[in-house]
Amino acid sequence: MKIVENALTPQIFSELRNTGPFIPYEEEDIIYALEHSLFNVVIYDEQKAVGIARLIGDNRLTFIIKDVVVLPRYQNRGVGDLLIKQLFKYIEANACTNAYIGLMSTPHKEGFYEKYGFIRRPNEKYGAGMVMFYKGGKISE
């Protein structure tokens, strides 16, 4: 396996995300998102991209892990672990003490992230994580 930092292209992004239960995006939106990401990583087997991940945030207080995708036939083979370790190397070089590191797990993958110290919400200390997918138009008040 070969690890390449900041090599994620719109084509690789779409190809890998299309293998899972992810919402598709227009290419121009993907290009914009990748240009404004803090960091990304691609794992290759030979010349084939088999895993991707990226970080978004303010590069100091907040880091959000996004788009962690491993091709199905490469899952449970250490690719996800390589991706997370690369993201954490970047975070460790840039984060302040008590920086927020968040993510939204796909269903039934929570246990994978718990190995790295992530906690499930809600719990007695923290409320539920929340999400909204903007469909255009006016946001309710």
pLDDT attached to residue 115: 96
Q: Tens digit of pLDDT for each residue in 34-89?
A: 999 999 999 999 999 999 999 999 999 999 999 999 999 999 999 999 999 999 99
pLDDT attached to residue 57: 98
Task: Report whether 55 contacts 40 (CB < 8 A).
Answer: yes
Containing 29, the helix (H) or strand (E) segment is helix 27-35
pLDDT attached to residue 139: 67
Report residue 101's pLDDT band, with 50, 70 and 90 as the boundaries.
very high
pLDDT attached to residue 136: 79
Structure tokens at 81: 């672990």
| CATH number attached to the domain at 2-114 | 3.40.630.30
pTM given for the model = 0.92
Residue 23 Cα to chain centre, angstroms: 14
pLDDT attached to residue 131: 85
pLDDT attached to residue 132: 83
